Amino acid sequence: MRTQAKLPGTVRRIVLTGFMGAGKSTIGRILAQRLGWDFADTDCVIESRMGMTIARIFAEQGEDAFRALEAEAVHDHARVENVVLALGGGAVEFESTREALSRLDEACVVFLDAPLEVMVARCLAQPAAAERPVLRDRERLTKRLAARLPHYRRAHLTVGTADLTPEAVAEAILEAMGDSLSVHGSRSDSGKETPTHP
C-alpha cells in the first residue's frame, strides 16, 4: 500500500484504476457491498448505453468514439454520491477522461497494481478472453502498460493485488481511507450497519 497524494477530507466516491486484469471490477463490487454503495463499471455502462460490446464499438466506431463515451460515463458519475466506479484500463491515457476525473468531488482514486504476467493470466482465464487478441501480443501489452503507469501512479492510493485476495485488497483500501470515508455514519459488513471507524 502506497499513498501518493493527500486523501480528500471526505470520500463519497471511490474510483478504481489499473490495467486489464488488475481486479477493478471484482474489488469494486466487494467495496460497494461492504459500504452499502452503488457499483458502476464504465465498460458495462457504455455497453448498456450503446447496446453493443466494447470490442464491437472499437471495430465499428473506433477508439476515439469509445474514449468520448468513456469520458461521458465518468462525468455522469460526478453527480452520484456513494458510488464505487471501475474505469477501463486505458481510460487514464486520455485527457478528456483525466479532466472528468479531476472534477470529481470528494473522490479517492485507487490504482490497483500487479505484475503484467499476473494480470494477463487473469484475463486469459476469463470467458471473454477470445475477444481480446491483444492478450497474445506481449510486446504491445508491455508498451501499453508503460505508457499508462505515469497516469495510474497519480492516484491517491496504490494497492498491490498480486498476493492478496480481492477481499483483502478491499479491506486494505477501507482501512487506508479510515475516517475520510463518508457512509452516512455507517459501514456495511455482512449486511449489518456498524460504526465506520471510531
Question: How many angstroms separate the CA atoms of 138 and 163, rounded?
Answer: 22
Q: What is the largest CA-CA distance in the chain?
A: 52
Question: How many angstroms separate the CA atoms of 50 and 189, rounded?
Answer: 35
Whole-number pLDDT of residue 159:
94
Distances from the Cα of 104 to the Cα of 15, 98, 111, 114, angstroms: 10, 10, 16, 26
The full DSSP string for 55-78 is: HHHHHHH-HHHHHHHHHHHHHHGG
Question: How many angstroms separate the CA atoms of 1 and 72, rounded?
Answer: 30
Cell 508491455 belongs to residue: 142
The torsion angles phi and psi of 30, rounded to 5 degrees, stand at -65, -45
SS3 label, residue 126: coil
- Give the CATH fold of the 2-184 domain: Rossmann fold (3.40.50)
Whole-number pLDDT of residue 172:
93
Q: Taking Cα atoms as reference points, which of 88, 162, 78, 74 lies closest to residue 118?
A: 162
Per-residue pLDDT of the chain (198 residues; tens, 9 = 90+): 666 567 778 899 999 999 989 999 999 999 999 999 999 999 999 999 999 988 889 889 988 899 889 888 888 876 788 999 999 888 898 888 888 888 788 889 999 999 999 998 888 877 665 556 566 778 888 999 999 999 999 999 999 999 899 999 999 999 998 878 865 433 434 333 333 333
C-alpha cell at 24: 477493478
